Amino acid sequence: MSDFNPGEVDRLAELVRLNLSDEEKAEFSEQLPNILNFVERLQSAKVDNHDQPLTISQDSLREDEVSGKRLSSEQLEALAPELRDNQIVVPPVFGESSDL
């Protein structure tokens, strides 16, 4: 049932922002349908529609308060690729090549 055609890997790679080498594209184009075949046996499952909670804890939103813990300037400097005036420098969101 899987409609995994050659362009599919390219389309997915664009969705998740991954550059793939030609070798990787070829490998994944072969492997992903195999994995999908393997998981396809789920199609044979008879399922009903009862909901089972996944967590024991059901009511655990805490108060919307600032906890007080923050990153120091030194920590920020160690974490950010580029810092200017204690602000993180990022590339332009809307740039010349903003083909999203």
Q: Which of 7, 16, 22, 84 binds another protein (CB under 8 A)?
A: 16
18 binds another protein (CB under 8 A): yes
Q: CA separation (Å) from 22 to 8, 9, 10, 28, 71?
A: 14, 11, 11, 10, 41
Give the separation between CA 27 and CA 38, rounded to whole angstroms.
Answer: 17
Give the separation between CA 12 and CA 33, rounded to whole angstroms.
Answer: 13
66 binds another protein (CB under 8 A): no
For another protein, the binding residues (CB under 8 A) are 1, 8-9, 12-13, 15-20, 24, 27-28, 31-32, 34-36, 38-43, 45, 47-52, 54-57, 60-62, 69, 71, 75, 78-82, 88, 90-93, 95-100
